[in-house]
Chain A
Amino acid sequence: MGQPRQPHDPRGALVRPYAVTRGRTEPQRDIPIEAVLVASQANVQEARFAGHDKYRIALLCEPRAQSLAEIAAYHRLPLGVARVLVADMVADGLLALHSAAPRQGFAERMDLLERVLSGLRKL
């Protein structure tokens, strides 16, 4: 559990990529590539019944928060496919979607920039 480097998916990243989403290409909501997702242990249990791909995603997001980009990369899914699956899981309560950086509001944006700056300085 929690081992993000999965063996190469034999379906391949580009072989009929939308087969895993049953042909759907439109996510239920637009999720930024850097937004992170978290699964609780209860979510993981529930996701067992949601199909292989969703279960693997829940397992990945349980030990620590993972961005949409990380989910796509570790599971070798094209970004668009990962986005459809993740959006479904958020809608079904199988993953918690956290926030990307605020794009509006001076105080909110400045606060984030200050926190990122101090994080970088501590590196």
Chain B
Amino acid sequence: MDFASSERAGAQPKEITSAKIVVAGGFGVGKTTLVGAVSEIEPLTTEAVMTSASSGVDDASKVPGKETTTVAMDFGRITMADDLILYLFGTPGQTRFWFMWDELIRGAVGAAVLVDTRRISDAFAPLDYFENRHLPYLVALNCFDGAPRYEPEEVREALAIAPHVPLIMCDARHRDSVKAVLVGVVEHAMATLVEEQGRGFPATVG
């Protein structure tokens, strides 16, 4: 870890912008592994109390009748410049709480939905979630050892992934592979933004 200072006394404080990319997917698909492959810190975990109330996270305590749950999310950090930090947030695998994630994806650059080709149907819930949100996302097939090798197009068909959603193969353990996934997310976000601008609907993200 580095604790290098960019804001020491004397230096003119600079506005720092931080961005996030969300890494989603079912239980055990390799989300934490993916985050750890590129993060400059060991992935950290933080807990949020979520409620099904529309206000989202963390105000569970004042609505006793509402369904609440504590979810842990992992995240990593990439300090890109002294004024730019990218965070990667891994969602919890338990998909029955996906409807509570709106607050956490708000403002994200985009998302990668990881799919384990040995358990393709686990991807239905996360994919349903992103299909109904305004956030650019791609699908990354995490290639586990001994997993059946599908052609990407077979997977696209099996999961009914829309043609505009990029689909790529990856190995969540390898930095270069994860880099390619993240580059793919950002490029897709750019393409989406350009396209929306062209249509005259620059919607708010998240």
* Interface residue ranges, A against B (CB under 8 Å): 2, 4, 13-14, 17-18, 25-26, 32-36, 38, 40-41, 62-65, 67, 69-70, 72-74, 78-80, 82-83, 96, 98-101, 103-106, 109-110, 112-117, 119-123
CA distance A117 to B183 in the complex (A): 6
Mostly helix, strand, loop or mixed at chain B's interface? mixed
Asked if B120 is at the interface (CB within 8 A of a chain A CB), the reply is: no
* Interface residue ranges, B against A (CB under 8 Å): 1-7, 9, 13, 15-20, 38, 44-49, 57-59, 61-62, 70, 73, 75, 77-78, 80-81, 84-87, 89, 104, 106-107, 109, 175, 179, 182-183, 186-187, 189-190, 193-194, 197, 202, 204-206
Residue of B4, B13, B189, B205 near A38 (CB, 8 A) is: B13
Whether A98 contacts B179 by the Cβ 8 Å rule is no
Whether A78 contacts B49 by the Cβ 8 Å rule is yes
Given A64-B6, A79-B58, A116 and B206 touching (CB < 8 A)?
A: no
Whether B47 contacts A113 by the Cβ 8 Å rule is no
Residues of A within 8 A of B58 (CB): 25, 78-80, 83
Tell me the nearest residue of chain A to B87, going by C-beta: A34
Residue of B19, B78, B106 near A123 (CB, 8 A) is: B78
